[in-house]
Chains A and B, each alone.
Chain A
Amino acid sequence: MTEHSEPTQPAQGQLVRRHRLSTRIWHWVNAVTLLVMLMSGLMIFNAHPRLYWGEYGANADAAWLEIGATQSGEGMLRIGGGAIRTTGVLGVWTDGEGKEKRRAFPSWSTIPSHYSLADARVWHLAFAWVLALGLLAYLVRSLLNGHIRRDLHITAREWRPSHIWHDIRDHARLRFPSGAAALHYNVLQKLSYIGVLFVLLPLIILTGLGMSPGTDAWAPWVTQGFGGRQSARSIHFIAAFLLVGFFLVHIVMVILAGPINEVRSMITGNYRLPKEKDDAK
């Protein structure tokens, strides 16, 4: 996170270097790529809005998740034995021209906005290369330049339950670090970034590969490792929504921590150290 370790602690209110160029480029490429992957992925899901476990699964087989329409024309999301009405959002919704459509995800959330599995696959499978090669390049560079060891490594002290609990309480009270302490990731930040970098992103790439009949021929352990092609598809979908969850929390945290300063630091690399609040009791 810091460009180099400072012998003296920088003062509050001072502008400091925070994010490397490689981190900043990767961040914004990923922001666009993940959005395209999500929206084109929702369109691909619309082609068969049912999820299964195991190797096979089609209409006659039991789905653990399904988005569709009831006989009375209500939108419905069914997970296991439970179903909720989702008319207007999922299953049954009205498009920009006021026409009722019966598709899982609505046109405002998909690429392209009109139904086209072929087009969505062209987008999804091209941007998949950007995501996979970008992650690979970033991980290799972060290992070599020490970013992972220096900024993401969780120390024994940070693993202590009392420390984690303290951090959770600080987050719940919206108390964010000030001064030089703001230059270091706290343990919850480290855990979420490690979860995304080393778990969710590799998982979503591997489950994507696990759905490919070509890859299944030369690397059957990928598909088999997830419990079959339909399980890989289900895990791919779950991982996508965990990434959406990360994105939402990430945006809320940026807004709470000071959106201008945070966004500037991810564009220019410069970050102004937050001041101690005088009125904090």
Chain B
Amino acid sequence: MSGSAKILTRRGLLRAGALGAGGLVLSGCDRLNDNSGFRSLLESAEGLHLRSQRLFGRDALAREFSPADLSPEFRANGNREVKDAAYRQQLASGFAGWTLKVDGLVEKPLALPLSALQAMPQRAQITRHDCVEGWSAIGKWQGPQLSHVLDVAGLKPQARFIVFHCADRFGSTPYYESIDMIDALHPQTILAWRMNDKVLPEKFGAPLRLRVERQLGYKHAKYVMRIEARESLDGLYGGKGGYWEDSSGYAWYAGI
């Protein structure tokens, strides 16, 4: 029986308890929140979230619903319009001269008109859109699978991330998002140009938006203009892989 070890444990417990209680009372949480070491410790849980979700459900399909389950009104969120003059012209002309650029680590860079995306094999799915804020809405989405578009372009073996460059802006920064190849090649990951059996309206991301059904709403980039295959997220704006990730500290992996 080692008495000294026991006393150390008691002291440790007492001190931890006092520090915990005192720190909380004195809003020590705010100071911990701003402490980069503590912050990165908390943020390291994101790796656990990603790995555990991939361990249990790497290829799992998001639940699909029936037309009876559709939300009567789907809430539009984030940017609901695009101010850019070129975009407004394209919108007015029904995106007649518009093309989706596919470039980066691909064998054959593409410029695909909307008609080419519409002529590809289509996938339609009724899914639940889960916002990071807590609300949900059920809608029907249709478009080609992202994997098909990437197949046409031919991914180079080094490609590890797919980045979506968008027409909408927050201040002077255009919106952007990224996913890894597991989500990019997932069968339910589509480039939707149709929503609830109508052409995608502006507030929901016309002419084209990403659906990446196993992640939260901010990953579903709207107004997608260009798709870029990359080896790393370093050098992409702040390096964290998305607008909200870089600007506000939201998690890149948004499966929870």
Contact = CB atoms under 8 A, between A and B. Distances in A.
Q: Is the interface of A mostly helix, strand, loop or mixed?
A: helix
A116 B132 CA distance: 12
A45 B134 contact: yes
B254 to A, nearest CB: 8
A217 B57 contact: yes
B136 A111 contact: no
Given A28-B17, A125-B256, A129-B48, A61 B134 contact: no
A134 interface: no
Nearest to A122: B42
Contact of A129 (B45, B56, B251): B45
Interface stretch (A52-60, A80-88, A161-169): A52-60
Nearest to B57: A218
Interface in B35-59: 39, 41-46, 48-49, 53, 56-57
B33 interface: yes
A211 interface: yes
A24 B29 contact: no
B75 interface: yes
Interface residues of A, number: 54
Contacts of B133: 47-48, 117
Contacts, number: 157
Interface stretch (B63-71, B90-98, B152-160): B63-71
A267 interface: yes
A77 interface: no
A219 B29 CA distance: 34
B250 A55 contact: no
A174 interface: no
Nearest to A35: B24
A117 B37 CA distance: 20
B29 A39 contact: yes
Contacts of A125: 45-46, 49, 251, 256
A59 B75 contact: yes
A223 B138 CA distance: 15
Contacts of B173: none
Contacts of B69: 55-56
The residue in B24, B135, B249, B251 that gathers the most chain A C-beta atoms within 10 A of its C-beta is B135
16 contacts: A36-B29, A44-B134, A48-B133, A48-B135, A55-B136, A56-B136, A60-B72, A112-B29, A112-B33, A118-B250, A119-B33, A119-B249, A211-B134, A214-B255, A214-B256, A217-B61
What are the nearest 4 A-B pairs in CB distance? A218-B57, A214-B255, A218-B60, A60-B73
Given A55-B69, A122-B42, A217-B214, 9 more contacts: A45-B134, A47-B134, A58-B71, A60-B72, A61-B73, A119-B249, A129-B45, A213-B62, A229-B128
Interface of A: 21, 24-25, 28, 31-32, 35-36, 39, 44-45, 47-48, 50, 52, 55-61, 111-114, 116-119, 121-123, 125-126, 128-129, 211-220, 223-224, 229-230, 233, 267-268
